[in-house]
Copies of this chain bind each other. A is one copy, B any other.
Amino acid sequence: MATDDLMSKVLEALGDAQPTVEAIHDLTDLAEVPSSMTIAEVADRLALSAHTLRYYERAGLVTVARDSQGHRVYDADAVRRLVFLTRMRLSGMSMRELQHYIELVDAGERTVPERMAMLAEHRDTIVRRLRELTLSLAAVDYKITTYGGATGSDVERRPSRDAAA
């Protein structure tokens, strides 16, 4: 995924600090967004390719104005929306869902409840995924610490030749 790098960047910036609401706020919204940017600048800032930005636009996720030469001009709103989109993609929301979400946004205030519902559901998805990963981490740790040890690995526990993984 092209969006993978963004988070690495963000996490680097964060250091070992706990990711708090404030941190998020600082890292995305409060970072001053120039009032207009070229596609290259946006691509650079969000750590995704110009190709991907055009793709998102084609997918209807964001609308971008053109200058006199037909080149894209990203305004602050567009950039902020892209920050949001990138974050949602990265946390596992599908293009399809995002398209739906954006349709809701474009449909106006009255869709706020449905948007909230989507966010809440996505939140659940993230939490579930966190639990899965935590479990997998424990499993991998277990395998690492016991590999070749007296009791065998969790996958091959019998006296153990190389029968299993």
Query: Which one of B91, B101, B120, B138 lies within 8 Å of A132 (CB-CB)?
Result: B91
Q: Provide the bound-state CA to CA distance between A123 and B28, in Å.
A: 28
Query: Which one of B116, B140, B154 lies within 8 Å of A29 (CB-CB)?
Result: B154
From DSSP, what is the main secondary structure of chain A's interface residues? helix
Cβ–Cβ < 8 Å partners of A21 in chain B: 138, 141-142
Say whether B84 contacts A132, CB under 8 Å. no
Task: Confirm or deny: A54 has a beta carbon within 8 angstroms of a beta carbon on chain B.
Answer: no
The interface size of chain A toward B, counting residues with CB under 8 Å, comes to 65
Query: Which one of B102, B116, B123, B140 lies within 8 Å of A119 (CB-CB)?
Result: B140
Query: Which one of B87, B88, B119 lies within 8 Å of A144 (CB-CB)?
Result: B119
New A-B pairs, 14, CB < 8 Å, besides A10-B135, A91-B136, A119-B143:
A8-B128, A11-B132, A11-B135, A19-B131, A23-B138, A83-B155, A84-B164, A108-B162, A120-B144, A123-B137, A123-B141, A126-B137, A126-B140, A130-B137
Q: Show the binding face of A for B, using Cβ within 8 Å.
A: 7-8, 10-11, 14, 19-21, 23-25, 28-29, 77, 80-81, 83-85, 87-88, 90-91, 101-102, 105-106, 108-109, 112, 115-116, 119-120, 122-123, 126-144, 147-148, 154-157, 162-165
